[in-house]
Structure 1
Amino acid sequence: MLKIFWVAVLAFLFSCQSSPSEETTTSSSAKTSASQKNGKTKPMVKLPVQHIVQRTHPFSSDQAPDYFRLALHGHSIAKGEVEFTITTQDGQEIYEENFPAADLEASMVNEVPSPTTPTVSEREAYILKRMDEFVQPTDFVAPAIAPNAPVQASFVNETTWKRIQANPKAIGFKYLLGKEDGRLLVYDPEKKKAVRYGSFGG
């Protein structure tokens, strides 16, 4: 009987020592979770859209037009960023590029020479004008690469160049960023996306 009594006492003492350890672990886990919540990176705040332009024109195929879209994001037009995308009719995005709105404004010095510094309103109006005129029928070239044009492997390798050159239905698209950074895009069926294959200006 005495042995049973001491066994019960020892069991009671052991349980008293174990409980605080379990509670501490649980408490520590709760603090870690709370710390993770408090330290969690806040989601990126979406910048407001200042201006959107969308045009359609045959590009990846001469059978159906693609969607050329420019969206200007930011708290102001002059300091915003332009997202330029090309999407096929079935919803496949084949090109995406982001650049500062200032890249559209840079050519203003060539088109609107003035002895005085343009105002913010004039700069913003010019950027919106450039966006509206970014995609025009005259900006498309077919074939994208003339049959007798020498290989230019600055942006694509020779194999890609010759593959595009061999396709008389390939359509090129040209656009200008900055003062003289002219760019040429063409759809590459093998890569299933638009690629830059040349430049002009500068």
Structure 2
Amino acid sequence: MRYSWLLLLPLLAACNSTPSAVNEGTSSRAADRQARDTTALPPPDTAAAKAVSAASDTLRVARQRHNFSHAEGPPDLFQLVFRGPSILEGTAEFTITNPEGQVIFREMLTEPDLEAALVYEMKTPTATRAERETFVLRRIDRFFLPAQFKTPAIAAQATFPTGITTLDQATWNDLRKRPDAIGFEYLKGKEDRQRITWSALKKQVVRVQSRR
């Protein structure tokens, strides 16, 4: 009996040591795998990062403060921002922002919208690139001339326009009764004269004229 017990001691020792050996082997393999995974990812290349500017493509800006949504008090901000790869390949964003900082009007104008009227100034059949660029820049710079702001926005005796589908009769009649309403007129294309104003009735900018 004593001899049998002595024979079992090595087997018991081997069984007790097995979990430790297995754990050590597993931990070692996990460490090796983690080391390989870490070295497989290259460090971030911060030196290659380039600064990005939101205004990098802005070529020209025209701004003018004028009362519009209110006849009195702080003025609204009229702004035309022309962006693009070049003067002849850009787009202008026309916005009006009220004194509270809310954009109450936004319209996109293409480069042809600004250049089209050049045809009335041309003395030759074609214009050079420099002449076209100069004309577009002048149109931007003169987009908010004082003479383009009209009061009243609609004359009391004016008749309701039939060519503007977005303007309703009630809004038109209300504006006719407001001699202090301010209109803004601008040219789009060759002959498309637009006039907009603030409607106190609808609490928004409305188009009251589109004359070709």
Deviation at 1:192, TM superposition (A): 2.7
Q: Once the 2 structures are TM-superposed, how far is the Cα of residue 47 of structure 1 from its aligned partner?
A: 6.5
Q: Computing the radius of gyration over CA atoms, which structure comes out larger, 1 or 2?
A: 2
Post-superposition, which runs of at least 4 consecutive aligned residues in structure 1 deviate over 6 A? 148-152
The corresponding residue for 2:191 is 180
* Equivalent of 2:148 in 111, 129, 139: 139
1:70 corresponds in structure 2 to 80
**Stretches of structure 2 lacking an aligned partner (at least 5 in a row):** 1-53
Equivalent residue in structure 1 for 2:100, among 90, 100, 115? 90
TM-score where L is the length of structure 2: 0.69
Runs of at least 5 residues in structure 1 that lack an aligned partner in the other structure: 1-44
Aligned residues: 195
CA distance in 1 between partners of 2:203 and 2:56 (Å): 30
- Check 1:71–1:197 CA distance in 2 against 1; reply closer, same or farther (3 A cut): same
> Which one-letter code corresponds to 1:169 in the other structure?
D
**Aligned-pair distance for 1:193?**
2.3
Identical columns (%): 38
Deviations 1:99-147 (A, max 9, x none): 21221100001x4122242111211111010011111111111111111
* Residue 107 of structure 1 pairs with residue 141 of structure 2: no
1:161 paired to 2:175 = no
CA RMSD across the alignment: 3.9
Deviations 1:24-76 (A, max 9, x none): xxxxxxxxxxxxxxxxxxxxx97710111101111111113211100001001
Q: Relative to structure 2, which stretch is displaced further, 153-162 or 51-60?
A: 153-162
Per the alignment, in what secondary structure is the counterpart of residue 210 of structure 2?
A: strand
AA at the equivalent of 1:159: A
